[in-house]
């Protein structure tokens, strides 16, 4: 068996009937690309494999040991060369549904070496349930790859599948993690990536456009990158027939990398998976662009009647021109979009603000947000000091706290005064009163008061340095920071304990997904809560995925303060809408944070982008960029005090006490209302009756 990337190691998954060098199944304009035949050689087998994994992980431990024993070498004696336990009473082939398979005893002998099953699985005696489930996942991937090897007709593709089969088989025996070895190298394979190059292209060609037209280009860029990520490349042998003069050897290496790192991991999730656009660069794009462009446009024309009107115009009118302009830059020898320092030089003239179409935005701080690994940040941005500021060519003001007294725009500063406004001198006088404890009447409200805000205690703890807030996330582009990885593990544990109905594997996948970020709440160096979210800048909203605070730290205002920090973080990034699916226990919390069932984001903007949860309620929150949310309750409290003091001053000015009426004691039955002392001075009473 040659290592992948060697002279004979290349191929494409063609056994599922997927056309080579073709788009994945689904409309060209789909917001979330459909995954079918392009996802695996077996097509629907990917879903079946996922179902089998879930079923096997829920099985009793004895059944799991039996399954792992089949792939575990015998340890009864050193001379035994048996590399897997074989059932002496194998189930019928194909399995019969009406026969319930009994759990095999650990004393059951192996059909090959006659040693007991226990001798094959003795190394698993003290293994945790989590590790055992991981190994079982690899087992099912091995079985699926074995099927692919036998079904695949292309010899080179069969060879790669067989290499990955042996790699995963070895991982089960050694209880290790799969690492593709050989001459393929590790991703990313070329810089800048396709993703960054397209991003640079949009910046280079369309930065002068008005906002609405620029947004159209952003949509086209997203669409194009999605198609590449789910594009099924042609095999080297097919390419040799189509273009015999091309560099087939170089294409074969890139194609084998694509199989090992991008394609096969889509249906064998025990292998690390990467997005094609993030790990490959101009070389691969040049090799597929012409064919891809032709087939995309042909598919769009064929399916034009199925597309909604707005998508039809976008794809049939704007998309061909977009692809033609991009093609020039892809094949041009002097295009600046492929320069390593393109983003640095272009940032001096102002950013488009659309780099987040493809990659996460540079992490800005509101108060103490720490640097998370990001391809747009400086390599030395690992300083975790709460007051740290990240220098960046993209935004020179990252890390600065938004000041409450900072004007928001020139229009605000020139706003005309309304007739009847309270004089500013009076406001300043009242403010000096309510901020001076010695001048206040009665005890000052503190965080222990029944009238204090929910987040008052948390805000005071943050000022004292007891708690910190950091936005963290995983990265495929930089070496992970140890502290950030520890925090991510802590966040995964908090979410898993506080959200028991959510699968632990699902939580882990999202928390460590580079497309997701988490606002972590740190107390005494450990994670006690957080909000996991994914930003969709081009769509104008962020999805809140998980939100939790550890049980022994609840009812302290941390949840409210967390959400307020998240709101300020998004105002910094100009994303002013939150969406989330809240379960029945979380609806109350989100209502307190300003969420409602009245969704302000157009449905077309979020359908296909956010995860839909059965039995949950979709809620949204629209942010106001004029509000400093972390200080909002303090501001409201001061406003109430101002109004109260102004009322008291007004009352003191007009207050005069008159003696009561004594004429009725003398037998007078009625008097005119205007004769009542003080009644004429009241501006609120119209005199049209007589007092009795």
Task: Please give the pLDDT value at position 442.
Answer: 41
Task: Please give the pLDDT value at position 155.
Answer: 78
Residues 432 and 450: their CA atoms lie apart, in Å, by: 24
The SS3 call for residue 468 is strand
Assign 579 a pLDDT band (cuts: 50, 70, 90). very high
Whether residue 94 has a cis bond before it, omega within 30° of 0: yes
Helices (H) and strands (E) in the chain, counts: 23, 10
The SS3 call for residue 103 is coil
pLDDT, tens digit, 9 for 90 and up, residues 288-333: 898 888 888 888 888 878 878 777 778 888 888 889 889 888 988 8
Q: Report the run of H or E that residue 424 belongs to, with start and end.
A: helix 424-434
Task: Please give the pLDDT value at position 436.
Answer: 55
Mean pLDDT computed over 434-462: 57
Say which residue, 454 or 487, is predicted with more confidence: 487
Catalytic residue among 543, 584, 622, 641: 543
266: pLDDT strictly greater than 80? yes
Q: Is 190 an active-site residue?
A: no
Please, are residues 76 and 97 in contact by the beta-carbon 8 Å criterion?
A: no
Which tokens belong to 285?
């794009």
Looking at 46-60, 555-569, 643-657, which range is the least confident one?
Answer: 46-60
Burial of 321 (0-12, 13-18, 19+ CB in 10 A): exposed
Concatenating the DSSP letter of every residue in 601-658 gives S-HHHHTTTSPP-TT-EEEEEE--TT--GGGHHHHHHHHHHHHHHHHHHHHHHH--PP
Mean pLDDT computed over 597-603: 90
**For 176, which DSSP code?**
-
Could you tell me how many residues make up the chain? 692
pTM, two decimals, is 0.45
Of 23-32, 52-61, 356-365, where does the model show the most confidence? 52-61
459: pLDDT strictly greater than 70? yes
pLDDT, tens digit, 9 for 90 and up, residues 629-678: 888 887 888 788 888 888 887 777 766 777 778 888 887 888 888 778 77
Residues 60 and 334: their CA atoms lie apart, in Å, by: 62
Residues 188 and 191: their CA atoms lie apart, in Å, by: 7
**What percentage of the chain carries pLDDT values higher than 90?**
14
The SS3 call for residue 446 is coil
Residues 337 and 592: their CA atoms lie apart, in Å, by: 46
C-alpha closest to that of 80 among 50, 110, 39: 110
Task: Please give the pLDDT value at position 187.
Answer: 87
448: pLDDT strictly greater than 50? no
Phi and psi (nearest 5°) for 617? -110, 130
Q: Which long-range CB contacts under 8 A does 378-387 form with residues at least 24 apart?
A: 379/478, 382/481, 382/483, 382/484, 384/470, 384/483, 386/465, 386/468
Say which residue, 389 or 109, is predicted with more confidence: 109
Strand order in the sheet with 516-523: 467-472, 516-523, 526-536, 541-549, 577-582, 617-622
Helices 319-331 + 211-229 axis angle, to 10 = 70
β-strands 577-582, 541-549 pairing: parallel
Please, are residues 129 and 99 in contact by the beta-carbon 8 Å criterion?
A: no
Mean pLDDT computed over 611-634: 85
Mean pLDDT computed over 520-543: 92
C-alpha closest to that of 291 among 246, 337, 258: 246
242's CB contacts (< 8 A; 6+ apart) are 234
Assign 431 a pLDDT band (cuts: 50, 70, 90). low
Three-state SS annotation for 75-100? CCCCCCCCCCCCCCCCCCCCCCCCCC
Task: Please give the pLDDT value at position 70.
Answer: 79
33: pLDDT strictly greater than 90? no
C-alpha closest to that of 215 among 537, 456, 493: 537
Q: How many CB atoms lie within 10 A of CB 520?
A: 27
Residues 627 and 473: their CA atoms lie apart, in Å, by: 26
484's CB contacts (< 8 A; 6+ apart) are 370, 372, 373, 382, 472, 473
Mean residue pLDDT across the chain: 74
Phi and psi (nearest 5°) for 543? -95, 125
Residues 81 and 110: their CA atoms lie apart, in Å, by: 12
Looking at 48-57, 535-544, 559-568, 615-624, which range is the least confident one?
Answer: 48-57
Mean pLDDT computed over 575-592: 89
Task: Please give the pLDDT value at position 8.
Answer: 37
Looking at 56-60, 139-143, 217-221, 354-358, which range is the least confident one?
Answer: 354-358
Residues 406 and 412: their CA atoms lie apart, in Å, by: 11
Q: Report the run of H or E that residue 205 belongs to, with start and end.
A: helix 194-206
Residues 535 and 12: their CA atoms lie apart, in Å, by: 33
Task: Please give the pLDDT value at position 43.
Answer: 47
Concatenating the DSSP letter of every residue in 354-422 gives -GGGTSPPP---SSSPPP---TTS-TTTT---TT-----SS-TTTTPPPPTT----HHHHTPPPPTTPP
Phi and psi (nearest 5°) for 380? -100, 30
Please, are residues 270 and 168 in contact by the beta-carbon 8 Å criterion?
A: yes
pLDDT, tens digit, 9 for 90 and up, residues 193-235: 999 999 989 988 887 777 788 888 888 999 899 888 888 888 8
604: pLDDT strictly greater than 60? yes
32: pLDDT strictly greater than 60? no
Assign 683 a pLDDT band (cuts: 50, 70, 90). low
Looking at 152-166, 410-424, 582-596, 662-676, which range is the least confident one?
Answer: 410-424
**For 478, which DSSP code?**
S
**What percentage of the chain carries pLDDT values higher than 70?**
72
Task: Please give the pLDDT value at position 684.
Answer: 55
Say which residue, 345 or 607, is predicted with more confidence: 607
Say which residue, 546 or 411, is predicted with more confidence: 546
Q: How many CB atoms lie within 10 A of CB 25?
A: 17
pLDDT, tens digit, 9 for 90 and up, residues 401-412: 344 444 344 444
Mean pLDDT computed over 164-179: 84
**For 306, which DSSP code?**
G
């Amino acid at each position: 068996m040659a290592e992948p990337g060697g002279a004979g190691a290349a191929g494409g998954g063609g056994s599922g009937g997927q056309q080579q060098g073709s788009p994945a199944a689904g409309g060209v304009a789909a917001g979330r690309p459909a995954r079918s035949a392009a996802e695996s050689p077996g097509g629907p087998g990917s879903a079946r494999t996922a179902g089998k994994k879930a079923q096997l992980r829920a099985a009793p431990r004895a059944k799991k040991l039996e399954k792992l024993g089949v792939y575990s070498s015998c340890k009864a004696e050193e001379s035994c060369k048996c590399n897997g336990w074989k059932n002496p009473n194998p189930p019928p082939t194909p399995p019969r549904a009406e026969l319930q398979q009994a759990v095999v005893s650990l004393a059951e002998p192996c059909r090959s070496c006659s040693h007991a099953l226990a001798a094959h699985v003795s190394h698993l005696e003290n293994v945790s349930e989590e590790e055992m489930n991981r190994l079982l996942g690899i087992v099912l991937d091995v079985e699926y790859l074995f099927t692919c090897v036998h079904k695949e007709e292309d010899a080179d593709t069969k060879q790669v599948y067989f290499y990955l089969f042996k790699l995963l088989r070895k991982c089960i025996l050694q209880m290790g993690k799969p690492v593709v070895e050989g001459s393929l190298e590790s991703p990313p394979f070329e810089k800048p990536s396709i993703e960054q190059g397209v991003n640079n292209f949009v910046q280079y060609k369309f930065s002068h456009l008005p906002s609405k037209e620029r947004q159209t280009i952003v949509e086209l860029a997203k669409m194009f990158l999605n198609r590449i990520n789910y594009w099924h490349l042609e095999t080297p042998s097919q390419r040799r027939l189509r273009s015999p003069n091309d560099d087939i050897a170089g294409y074969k290496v890139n194609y084998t990398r694509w199989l090992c790192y991008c394609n096969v991991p889509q249906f064998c999730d025990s292998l690390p998976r990467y997005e094609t656009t993030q790990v490959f660069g101009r070389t691969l794009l040049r090799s597929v662009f012409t064919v891809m462009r032709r087939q995309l446009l042909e598919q769009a024309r064929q399916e034009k009647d199925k597309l909604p009107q707005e998508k039809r115009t976008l794809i049939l009118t704007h998309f061909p021109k977009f692809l033609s302009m991009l093609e020039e830059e892809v094949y041009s020898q002097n295009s600046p979009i492929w320069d390593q320092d393109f983003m640095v030089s272009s940032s001096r003239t102002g950013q488009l603000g659309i780099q987040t179409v493809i990659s996460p935005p540079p992490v800005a701080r509101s108060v103490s947000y720490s640097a998370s690994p990001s391809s747009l940040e400086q390599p030395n941005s690992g300083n975790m000091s709460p007051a740290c500021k990240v220098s960046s060519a993209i935004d020179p003001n990252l890390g600065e706290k938004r000041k409450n007294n900072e004007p928001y725009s020139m229009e605000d500063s020139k706003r005309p005064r309304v007739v009847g406004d309270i004089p500013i001198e009076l406001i300043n006088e009242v403010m000096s009163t309510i901020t001076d404890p010695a001048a206040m009447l009665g005890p000052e409200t503190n965080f222990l008061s029944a009238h204090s805000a929910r987040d008052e205690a948390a805000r005071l703890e943050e000022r004292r340095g007891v708690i910190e807030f950091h936005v963290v996330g995983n990265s495929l582009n930089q070496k992970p920071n140890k502290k950030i990885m520890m925090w991510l593990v802590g966040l995964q544990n908090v979410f898993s304990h506080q959200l028991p109905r959510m699968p632990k594997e699902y939580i882990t996948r999202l928390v460590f997904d580079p497309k997701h970020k988490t606002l972590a709440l740190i107390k005494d160096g450990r994670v006690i809560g957080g909000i996991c979210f994914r930003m969709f800048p081009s769509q104008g909203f962020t999805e809140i995925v998980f939100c939790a605070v550890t049980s022994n730290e609840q009812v302290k205002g941390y949840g409210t303060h967390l959400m307020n920090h998240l709101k300020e973080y998004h105002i910094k990034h100009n994303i002013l809408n939150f969406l989330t699916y809240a379960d029945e226990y979380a609806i109350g919390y989100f209502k307190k944070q300003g969420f409602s069932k009245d969704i302000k984001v157009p449905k077309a903007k979020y359908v296909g982008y956010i995860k839909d949860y059965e039995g949950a309620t979709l809620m949204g929150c629209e942010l106001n960029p004029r509000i400093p949310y972390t200080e909002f309750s303090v501001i409201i409290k001061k406003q109430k005090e101002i109004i109260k003091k102004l009322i008291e001053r007004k009352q003191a000015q007009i207050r005069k006490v008159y003696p009561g009426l004594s004429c009725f004691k003398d037998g007078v039955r009625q008097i005119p209302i205007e004769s009542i002392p003080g009644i004429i001075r009241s501006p609120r009473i119209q005199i049209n009756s007589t007092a009795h």
